[in-house]
Amino acid sequence: MSRAVETSAVVAALLVLTTAARADDGGWPSFAQTLGTQLRALEARFDEGAGGLPPWLGRFRISGNGDFAYLNGDRHSPAPGGRFLVDNSRLFLDSELVDGLRLGEWPLASDASFFVEWDAARDGEVLNTVGSFYLRLDHVLGLDPLNVKIGRVLIPFGEEYPRFSEQRPENPLISFSAAAPYGWDNGILFFGSSPWRSLQYVAGVMVGDTGFHVNTSRETQLDAKLVWQPVGWAHLSVSGLWTGKLGTHDEGGEAALEFGETEIRPFGSETDVTSFQNGAPITADPNQSVTMTAGESDLIVTAGDWGRLWLGFGRVAIRSGGSAAYDRDLSYGIAEGVFGLGRVARSLRRFYVAGRYSVIGTFDADEGYLIDPFNGGEELGFNTKSVSVVSLGVGWRATSFLTLKTEYSWYDFTLVRGVPSDLHAEAGGRNYLGVGASVHF
């Protein structure tokens, strides 16, 4: 993207801030002031209407969220020449089934509920498919720390995965991090907290299947997450995941957990791009099975109206079922900050500035992998050494159900040695500017 477009993006953001500030200070009428007033009035009418619903409807909670954006970027970006997309559109139904589930005199669970997520659109594609789909039992066998989800659930790994579902509106930017680990799996999930509430856990036994069905031929997958909140403003977590054997010699497999749309699968599979290793071409792994072990640690510091800082680091070990020459180790990191502008001026209390630096790769000039951080990285095959992304944006929380966002993202793809010049050219030109809206109810 040209420097003129980058400059225009900065000027546009400053104009929005200036307009809103003058409106809140009692200056001349503005579009921002009018829009904000109308939206807050609509919000109040929704709240008033909810108070008149019959009591039995309290057993059903319907919610949803949607993300809409216009992107305009360089020639190899997701939106060369401009593109409007419905990035996300979801509905959630949480139904309370029964209170006090018992078997004779034995308490089985204090509450039983059913949750289903319908994804009309996901990652910019119309899908009309089911996301999460599970039965939840609280306080199993009368034990407060023991709760269970049975069915199809989001894999509890890291701190970003909730942003791909119910907590989507909490993403301060339009995009996600370069790694962005997330995915769904089928199985049973145990979760709860210690009596003093500062320690929480999640542990799952999964089938490792990316589809909406249970394939009994798959190897068992194990994942766990431990969260510690020693004080109200500090959140620390450690996550781990181990897969069994994915795929067979005749049919390649892939992990349910993705990394920024990077599917963990056998080296060289499902691509026509020549792979390079140690500076020379290499054939695809003839053994179509892999295993994966992954871990991530995170620290989130929240400072009230000032904002939030999130730091994270992770490692992914991919092991071939055949030769060690196809083994790969990925490392990734993230640093994200959100600063509330209300601390600068009261008139900007609904605005924030967000910035994120994230990176993922093998960081080995001789060994690459297919890395696709929502930006067409599959076009480079298994030749990417690393991808780093810098994203800066301004957001306006117009109401409790609507946030408007702007973002500019710089991408840097580095490739392993030996790849031809045309592939290096393909790796460049991936920056883009975006404006969008995030809604939820």
**Which two structure tokens, joined as six digits, stand for 252?**
């390649």
Q: Could you report the per-residue pLDDT of 348-364, keeping only the tens digit for each?
A: 999 999 999 999 999 99
**Which two structure tokens, joined as six digits, stand for 108?**
């089985």
Instruction: Assign 9 a pLDDT band (cuts: 50, 70, 90).
Output: very low
Higher per-residue confidence, 97 vs 352: 352
The pLDDT score that the predictor gives to residue 373 is 84
Report how far residue 371's alpha carbon sits from residue 379's, in angstroms, rounded to the nearest whole number: 10
Q: If residue 19 lies in a helix (H) or strand (E), which one and from where to where?
A: helix 3-24
Tallying the residues shown for the chain, one arrives at 441
Q: Is the confidence at residue 375, as pLDDT, over 90?
A: no
Instruction: Assign 253 a pLDDT band (cuts: 50, 70, 90).
Output: confident
Instruction: Assign 295 a pLDDT band (cuts: 50, 70, 90).
Output: very high
The pLDDT score that the predictor gives to residue 123 is 81
Q: Could you report the per-residue pLDDT of 99-151, keeping only the tens digit for each?
A: 888 887 788 899 999 999 999 998 888 888 999 999 999 999 999 899 999 99
73 strand-pairing partners: 80, 432
Q: Could you report the per-residue pLDDT of 53-70, keeping only the tens digit for each?
A: 566 567 889 999 999 999
Residues 396-402 have a mean pLDDT of 93
Report how far residue 143's alpha carbon sits from residue 344's, in angstroms, rounded to the nearest whole number: 47
**Which domains are assigned to the chain?**
3-440 (2.40.160.10)
The pLDDT score that the predictor gives to residue 288 is 87
- Check if the beta carbon of residue 254 is closer than 8 Å to that of residue 279: no
Q: Could you report the per-residue pLDDT of 316-347, keeping only the tens digit for each?
A: 999 999 899 999 999 999 999 999 999 889 89
- Check if the beta carbon of residue 407 is closer than 8 Å to that of residue 213: no
The pLDDT score that the predictor gives to residue 320 is 94
Q: Is the confidence at residue 365, as pLDDT, over 70?
A: yes
Q: Is the confidence at residue 28, as pLDDT, over 50?
A: no
The pLDDT score that the predictor gives to residue 4 is 42
Q: Return phi, psi of residue 72, to 5°.
A: -145, 120
The CA-atom distances, in angstroms, between 183 and each of 160, 174, 258 are 11, 19, 6
